[in-house]
Structure 1
Amino acid sequence: MAEFTKRSARELASEIRTGRLSVLTLLESILDRIEAIDELNAFVTVIEESARESARKADAAAARGEDLGPLHGVPVAIKDLRNRKAGVRNTMGLAPLENNMADEDSITVERLEAAGAVIVGTTNTPALGHTIKTENRLVGSTPTPFDHNQSAGGSSGGSAAALAAGAVPLATGSDIGGSLRVPASCCNVIGLKPTFGLVPERVPFDGFSTHSPFFVGGPMARTAEDTALLLDVLAGQDERDPFSVPRPETKYVEATDRPTAELSVAYSPNLDLQPVASTVREAVDTAVADLAAAGATVDTVDVSLPSYEELSMAYVTQVGAFFSAFAQQLADQYDIDFETADVEDTVRSTIALGTETDAADDRLQNVPRTAAYDGIQDALTGYDVLVTPTLTVPPYSKHLTDGYPTEIGGQSVMGVPTDVMLTWVFNMTGHPVASVPAGFTDDGLPIGLQIVGQRFAEADILSVAAALERVRPWTDQYPVGELISQR
């Protein structure tokens, strides 16, 4: 089993294509691994028989010499929220939807399977993806594999934990405030929030709901090259998504070969917005210094944003309206009364954020959003990317009831999710961002850094991610052996 736990998707696809590896053999190893990490609660549903049937068909296609897709035979996990596979449970982390079955494939699943991927199951998420801790009443909390008391992050925590624990080489996530990047930081993997519209999605009921703030799906992986490979599969226009756009002609995988000396990086230790814990600052400082030592041009820059209070209020207002509308749509479709249903208190409080917001107030929040966009654009001027920490603190408690820190970097904070992350700003501005591993605290907790690019400049982000991976490789730093021994 350990043979496949750290292998990249590209390596596995290559061995399948050349006949050196059977898809079914690989799948059985993956299923064993998923069983071995059951204590992480990374998966909601594992679809063994469906995956085995797909693996048999993939082996037969390879034996016949058919033209194979870029992910032929590669196991992939999908987040149990907006990604749906027909005939498979789609709970969205809600206990009232425990037995809800998807009746159609999402665009993401269509593209994965068209590329030859074998979907092995759905990964854990907090109810409705509403927060940055992955815990729900269906399967419990998902910790980071590096410390089973600390959170894998959210809301794509199941996908991130599955990757870090060696259960799959690729997974999907989604992001409305950090839900791809926060778990990536907590689990020492990569999560990329693409430019709005690049990865299409057909949202039932309301195809325009993802616009304010920007909600997107994106790839998660352990390596920059695998992240690029998955983005190559997912990106591109689909007429069912009114916001989707054509993808660039170049392949994202090719961007990972760009020489480090060609890269220019602007660095902000805290976006000039909020306090950052010293352990996080030190890890990110070191990673950025190593990137500079490897030949990249790196300059520390100022970032002019609205105040934390003004910008976070704009975010909370708009994300509250988003979740309130989302909940109402689900209530109407599935006959759920969120006031009395078996859901977490944090779900009800998140929904309540938007119940008193009128349309004019929601629209007025675009004023600080515009100022934030301009500030990020100014910081990026003359550089390929802007780098900043992903979280302001190391991974925090995995339980929703435990709350968040009330002091960071010696400063008092409100103890709310926006305090502990620097991710949500970019859901307001729409810039593409990836979180990649930056290092560890003294007690072994992973720290991530964000790489921010111009809109539709995912290639620049992936170039910098690959350069950082070359100078600071992290794929041998996962606690796979420890997890096996605990089985």
Structure 2
Amino acid sequence: MSALRGRSARELATAMRTGTLSALDLVETALERIEATAELNAFITVLEDSARERAREADRAADRGEDLGPLHGVPVAIKDLRSRKAGVRNTMGLAPLADNVADEDSIAVERLEAAGAIVVGTTSTPALGHTIKTENRIVGATPTPFDHDRSAGGSSGGSAAALAVGTVPLATGSDIGGSLRVPAACCNVIGLKPTFGLVPERVSSDGFSTHSPFFVGGPMARTPEDVAVFLDVLAGQDGRDPFSVPRRKTDYVAATDRSTADLDVAYSPNLDLQPIAPAVRETVDAAVGDLATAGATVDTVDVSLPPYEELSMAYVEQVGVFFSSFAQQLAEQYEIDFETADVAETVRSTIALGAGTDATAERLQNVTRTAAYDGIENALDGYDVLVTPTLTVPPYSKHLADGYPTEIDGQSVMGVPTDAMLTWVFNLTGHPAASVPAGFTDDGLPVGLQIVGRRFAETDILSVAGAIERARPWTDRYPAV
């Protein structure tokens, strides 16, 4: 187990090059760890045979002295939604698709394998990735390893839990409202939502579906350096994605070592938008304070956004249309009747959100989005990044049927997912954002700190992530599950 757990992807790839580790040993260790932590339901499909065969090929290539990719021999996991591997089942968290097999690789899988990585399994997601708890009818609920009664978050909760217990050092995620960042916060890892277009995503039937709100794929890992390495592999234009853009000459890894004293950070405890649980506020305040003590310039700022009710309605209306159209495409392609299918009621209610939305009304929500974008740009003026809590509450119950908190810091809230997080705003505005570990509540629950940058300024986000890791190290704080 020590060959993999607690070691970074860069360390493992380096050990492969120097011959001190073999890819087969790494894969065997990953598979053993997956089996030992099976109670987390982090994986939907485990690829024992194909992963071992690719590992043997990787070892033979190393023995021949071939040029090795930056992730040569490194075990990785892919979220079972739009990260597809040909010949492997792709369920999207849907029981009716439990036996569906992908007929092509996604762009992310192509790039990972070209870099030498070895896919050891697909990670759990709620059906269609529809919410911020990871529970489905195929494997059940995925808890955070820090408290098995609480959620790993969603919709990339399987990837986050897999990272937290050291089954793999890298995992893919995707994000349309917080699905990279929320599980990162719940599981004490890092999830980066990159700028829209930086990481290409090919949607076979509707390549233009990802812009309202912005849907992106991105990297998840335990350290800023590994996120940087992973982003370097994933980023860059691909003609199959009409929104993808060319890579800039950017050194993401070097950005993680930028001097803390060079950083100018704007801090908003709640985006002037929502109540925050005291335990979360205190933990994030402490992390921001340590960042300032380490030399960063940190100022608390006001953020001028539309009122919560107006802004959340813009998000809910547009994300509802996204899921409604996504479900309709799947219904036609796979002959699924979502009214009678074996799915949770939250799936049906999410699909229904956009079913009756007028097209003109949906497009008019871009007026509210524009006001939000301007508010975030103004808050960033003069600063490298804006930081906030990721979630407004600590990790919540893992079961979909239990709902979400209805009171936060003494204030009544609606008990809907947008109440529990500060992430969805940036799927409306398009700003890149990451969640990094901020620390723990008094009862040992992880808290995430969200770092927001300007478009294509991922280096600034990674610089602040690196500074926080130096100020408040977390890689020795994972449970021995």
Smaller-chain TM-score bracket: over 0.9
Aligned to 2:421: 421
Aligned to 2:32: 32
Aligned to 2:312: 312
Percent identical pairs in the alignment equals 81
Give the RMSD, CA atoms, in angstroms. 0.5
Aligned to 2:87: 87
Aligned to 1:215: 215
Aligned to 1:195: 195
For 1:332-481, list aligned pairs within 5 A.
Answer: 332-480=332-480
Instruction: Kindly indicate whether the alpha-carbon contact (under 8 Å) linking 2:439 and 2:448 is maintained by their aligned counterparts in 1.
Output: yes
The amino acid of 2:130's aligned partner reads: H
For 1:288-299, list aligned pairs within 5 A.
Answer: 288-299=288-299
For 1:437, what is the secondary structure of its paired residue?
strand
The amino acid of 1:314's aligned partner reads: A
Cα shift readout 1:461-482 (whole Å, capped 9, x = no counterpart):
00000010011100000002xx
Gaps of at least 5 residues in structure 1 are none
Cα shift readout 1:317-351 (whole Å, capped 9, x = no counterpart):
00000000000000000000101111110000000
The amino acid of 1:380's aligned partner reads: L
The amino acid of 2:46's aligned partner reads: V
For 2:210, what is the secondary structure of its paired residue?
helix
Aligned to 1:63: 63
Instruction: Kindly indicate whether the alpha-carbon contact (under 8 Å) linking 2:3 and 2:26 is maintained by their aligned counterparts in 1.
Output: no
Q: Does the alignment pair 1:49 with 2:52?
A: no
The amino acid of 2:156's aligned partner reads: S
Cα shift readout 1:386-436 (whole Å, capped 9, x = no counterpart):
000000000000000001111101111001100000000000000000000
For 2:229, what is the secondary structure of its paired residue?
helix
Aligned to 2:263: 263
Q: Does the alignment pair 1:231 with 2:231?
A: yes
CA distance, structure 1, for counterparts of residue 397 and residue 247 of structure 2: 39
CA distance, structure 2, for counterparts of residue 141 and residue 221 of structure 1: 21
How big is the shift at 1:288? 0.3
CA distance, structure 1, for counterparts of residue 301 and residue 440 of structure 2: 24
For 1:2, what is the secondary structure of its paired residue?
coil
The amino acid of 1:196's aligned partner reads: F
For 1:136-285, list aligned pairs within 5 A.
Answer: 136-285=136-285
How big is the shift at 1:135? 0.1
For 2:351, what is the secondary structure of its paired residue?
helix
How big is the shift at 1:277? 0.4
CA distance, structure 2, for counterparts of residue 240 and residue 69 of structure 1: 23
CA distance, structure 1, for counterparts of residue 217 and residue 295 of structure 2: 32
CA distance, structure 1, for counterparts of residue 251 and residue 121 of structure 2: 27
TM-score by length of 1: 0.98
CA distance, structure 2, for counterparts of residue 423 and residue 114 of structure 1: 32
CA distance, structure 2, for counterparts of residue 87 and residue 251 of structure 1: 34
The amino acid of 1:76's aligned partner reads: V
CA distance, structure 2, for counterparts of residue 148 and residue 248 of structure 1: 42
Aligned to 2:101: 101
Q: Which ranges of 4 or more aligned residues in structure 1 deviate by more than 2 Å? A: none
For 1:115-130, list aligned pairs within 5 A.
Answer: 115-130=115-130
CA distance, structure 2, for counterparts of residue 320 and residue 218 of structure 1: 22
How big is the shift at 1:251? 2.0
The amino acid of 1:115's aligned partner reads: A
Cα shift readout 1:62-97 (whole Å, capped 9, x = no counterpart):
111111100000000000000000000100000000
For 2:349, what is the secondary structure of its paired residue?
helix
TM-score by length of 2: 1.00
The amino acid of 2:423's aligned partner reads: T
For 2:4, what is the secondary structure of its paired residue?
helix
CA distance, structure 2, for counterparts of residue 185 and residue 438 of structure 1: 8
The amino acid of 2:20's aligned partner reads: R
How big is the shift at 1:2? 3.4
The amino acid of 2:132's aligned partner reads: I
How big is the shift at 1:26? 1.1
The amino acid of 1:298's aligned partner reads: V
